[in-house]
A and B are shown apart, each in its own frame.
Chain A
C-alpha cells in the first residue's frame, strides 16, 4: 500500500482518478492548486487506486494523504 501525500499546502483543483482505477507510474492522479500554479500529483508506482481521500475544492496540508494505492 502506498500513500500519495500532498507536497505542499494548497487546494484540490481537479481529481483525475477514482477508487478501483488502474494506474501506471507517473499517471496524473489529481491536480493541486497552490501559489497560482497547477501542480500535478502523479502515481509514484503502478497499481490500483484503493481510495481517494480528498474532494475537489478541499484545502489540503503538506503531508496530507490524498490517494491510497495498492
Chain B
C-alpha cells in the first residue's frame, strides 16, 4: 500500500508542477520578450515573501483539456506589509489570459466572495485578451457579467485595485473602470471597450490596441488610468504603496505609521515657494512636500487634469487625502475634468476613512461658452456633492485665493470642515477684486475723468475688504495662521476630529450628478 500512497501523492505533485509551469517555456519566453513578467513572478512581487496561498491551481478549462493550466488565471491571497490581500491574476501565457468559464464562474468568483466575506482588498493583475470567445459566443452569454455587479457591491467596502500589465480588452475593461486605483504600465498595457479587431469589424477604424487604449491615452487624456509606470516591477510597487495608505475595509481606520517627522515641525521655505502676488503661479506640489511627513507624498493621477493635484500622504503618521489647487496649470482654475478627478478621489477617501486636507488657492471655476457646452455645472456639482457628503475629518487651509464656488468645493465653511484656517495674504471673495469692480462700479469707472486711476483705486478698496481678517473677525474661519504653522495645525485638527460622528437623515442613497 505504501507504493500506492506515494504514487498518488506523486501524481498530485506532477499535476501541480504542470500547472505551475503556466503556458510552458516558449510562451514564457515570449512574455519576457514583450517586456512583461509572468503571472507568478508578479505575484512574488506583490506579496510579502512566502505568504501567497493559491486556490484553484488545479483548475482546467471547461473541456478539462491539458491546454489551460489554472484556466489562465491565478487566484488566492497573501500579505502586503503583513495585511491580507486577495489577488486575481490573469496569465497571458495560457490562452492569452482569456477569461474562461471555470476561471470566471468559480475561481475569480471565489476570490470576490471570500475577500468580501473577510473584508480584505482585491488586486487584479490584468493581462488578458478578454472573454474566451470560443466559450462565450453563444447565448449562454446570458449567464455572464456578474463580476461587475460584485464589484459594485464591494465598492466603498473593500479597496479594489486594477493593475494594468497588459491588454484588457472588451467588457473586462470595466474591471479598471470600477476600481479605486488603476496604475498602467507604459508601452505594454492597454484597455478599450472594443479591441482593435472588433473596432475594425464594427466601424472600419484602423487602430491598434495601444494607440486606442495605452497609458498615453488613459493617463493623459481620458482619466480612466491613474498613474503611468515604467514596468511591471514599478507597477506592483505602486500597488503596494497605494494600499499602505488604506485600511483593509471601510470598517477599519487606515494604519498609522510613525514616520519620525515631528508634528510641531515649522514648515520652512514656503516664502520661497508661494508668491504673495495672487496672480503669480507656483508648483503646489512643493508646498505639499514641505508640509506633510517627509517622503510620504504619493500623487494620484499626476498627468491628467493637472490643474488640481490629488494624492495620499501622511500627517503626523496619519494617512490623509490631499486635494490642492495647482496655480502652475491653467492658473489652478477648476474645470470639468478637475472637478471629476477631485470628486472621485474625495469619495474614495471618505469611503475608506481617510481624512481630507484641502489646500486652497483657486481663482474659481472656469467660465465661458466652451465649458458650459461641456456641462461644467454638472461636473462641478460632483465636487460640491463629494465634499459636502464626506464625513471624514476635513481640514481646509486657504493659502491664497478663495473665490466663488471654488471656495465652496474646496471645503469652505458651509461644508463643515473640522478646521478652516487662512494664511495672512489669503483673499476670500465671491470673485477677484478686478471682476468685482467691473460689475459693481462699472458706471462709476466710466463716468470718471480718469477711468484707469478710478478703477485701480476701487480695486485696492475691495482688496482691503477681502483679506482674511474680516472673515476671522466674524469667526467664520477658525484662525489666521503663519504658513510655517500649517503642518501642526493640520495634524492637530485631524486628531481633534478623531471621534467625529455625523448623523444624517436616512435615505437609500443620494443622487450624485454624473
Query: What is A's interface to B at a CB cutoff of 8 Å?
Result: 7-9, 34-40, 61-62
Contacts and interface: CB of A to CB of B under 8 A. Distances in A.
A36 B435 CA distance: 8
Contact of A35 (B280, B329, B333, B370): B333
Contacts of A62: 370
B331 A39 contact: yes
B370 A9 contact: yes
Contact of A37 (B281, B335, B435): B281
Contacts of A8: 330, 333, 335, 366
Interface in B255-307: 278-281
Contacts of B363: 35-37
A40 B328 CA distance: 7
B435 A39 contact: no
Interface string B202-239: 00000000000000000000000000000000000000
A38 B329 CA distance: 10
Nearest to A34: B331
A35 B366 contact: yes
Contacts of B327: 37
9 contacts: A7-B330, A8-B366, A36-B331, A37-B331, A37-B333, A38-B280, A38-B331, A39-B331, A40-B328
Which residue, of B279, B327, B370, has the highest number of chain A Cβ atoms within 10 A? B279
Given A35-B331, A36-B435, A39-B330, 13 more contacts: A7-B329, A8-B366, A9-B368, A35-B333, A35-B363, A35-B366, A36-B432, A37-B333, A37-B363, A38-B279, A38-B281, A39-B281, A61-B370
B223 to A, nearest CB: 16
Contacts of B368: 9
A34 B334 CA distance: 12
A36 B363 CA distance: 7
- Chain A interface mostly: loop
A37 B280 CA distance: 7
B332 interface: yes
A2 B294 CA distance: 38
B69 interface: no
Closest 7 CB pairs of A and B: A37-B331, A35-B363, A36-B432, A39-B331, A38-B279, A35-B333, A8-B330
B113 interface: no
Contacts of A34: 330-331, 333
A36 B330 contact: no
A61 B279 CA distance: 20
Contacts of B364: 35
B54 to A, nearest CB: 46
Contacts of A37: 279, 281, 327, 331-333, 363
A37 B334 CA distance: 13
B460 interface: no
A36 to B, nearest CB: 4
Contacts of A61: 370
A8 B280 CA distance: 17
Contacts of B280: 38
A52 B148 CA distance: 50
Contacts of A35: 331, 333, 363-364, 366-367
Contacts of B281: 37-40
A38 B435 CA distance: 15
A37 B279 CA distance: 5
A39 B331 CA distance: 5
Nearest to A13: B279
B44 interface: no
A56 B351 CA distance: 48
Contacts of A40: 281, 328
A34 to B, nearest CB: 6
B282 to A, nearest CB: 10
Contacts of B329: 7
Contacts of B328: 40
Nearest to B435: A36
Nearest to A10: B331
B434 interface: yes
Nearest to A38: B279
A61 B370 CA distance: 9
Chain B CB within 10 Å, residue with most, of A8, A9, A37, A62: A37
Contacts of B366: 8, 35
B369 to A, nearest CB: 9
Interface in B366-382: 366-368, 370
Interface string B326-368: 0111111101000000000000000000000000000110111
B342 to A, nearest CB: 17
A11 B54 CA distance: 60
B330 to A, nearest CB: 5
Nearest to B363: A35
Nearest to A7: B330
